[in-house]
Chains A and B, each alone.
Chain A
């Protein structure tokens, strides 16, 4: 995979782009961080709401319908803003165990967001008030807790990609 990318036109294109356009790497990374902030405000807030830790006045069904689309948009933006770096330096990512962890956390995090969306986002929000019949089931709380841990894992691992030497090649 890495070798195929390294020999492709996309590799040359992304490398030149990031190398030659002044300020493009920090700008792209800043947009990536803003995308993470949007995931925090949407999927992660929904997890915290399900767990009864945040925004108690918000109706869970309404919240999922209002916020989950933001998660999908942020994930699309973060794919776009992350991809040029992978295309430009494929070996830095594909040979990096920390990048593998990020993906291992990211895939189930996205799956769980879809699970929560399908479970709650498809039904009609009846009122903006939180009612007892909305009390999350234990199974849903388990899903939310797992989702929360996975998102935190994605974000921490993402930043550690650049520092994998600290973990795998100690002095």
Chain B
């Protein structure tokens, strides 16, 4: 209940109202698309390496360490642009099932990534340059592909529900 008050307050702010009626909304949205394409593109490359399907010439650790900063940088850009759009109709989006599914998948993708980086990555020295990858890495890569595809799909669906 308290949250609904927050959403109502948020969409009533001058900033939210200004974004909602001006070119700011499409500007934020277009930058958001650019950012998520880089988020998912960089993650896709890492996922395919974890699945042992691509870039096997390179140590897995190199692929991960060189691409992760791009993922985070782009993610950092997607957050304020996404939030700027969210605040224009906060109660509407918070109640939008597609948006809710998107957030759940985003959290699951984050948990999958955190689990991989804390647990499954142990012992990466043993398969860093090997021609195949262990099961834990393949599971993390598959889950990541499925969840990020879901985030994109649910995100795009959000705009179709009124």
Contacts and interface: CB of A to CB of B under 8 A. Distances in A.
Contacts, number: 93
A104 interface: no
Given A160-B26, A167-B23, A30 B58 contact: no
Given A33-B37, A37-B44, A167-B23, A55 B66 contact: yes
B88 to A, nearest CB: 14
Contact of A159 (B26, B67, B70, B160): B26
Interface stretch (A2-10, A39-47, A110-118): A39-47
A159 B33 contact: yes
Task: Indicate the size class of the contact surface on chain B.
Answer: 20 to 34
A58 interface: yes
Interface in A90-130: 128
B58 A34 contact: no
Nearest to A171: B21
B16 interface: no
Nearest to A128: B57
Contacts of B139: none
Interface of B: 22-23, 25-26, 29-31, 33-34, 36-42, 44-45, 54-55, 57-58, 62, 66-67, 70, 149, 152-153, 155-157, 159-160
A-B pairs with the 3 shortest C-beta distances?
Answer: A41-B41, A40-B41, A163-B26
Interface of A: 23, 25-27, 29-30, 33-34, 36-42, 44-45, 54-59, 62, 66, 128, 152, 155-156, 158-160, 162-163, 166-167
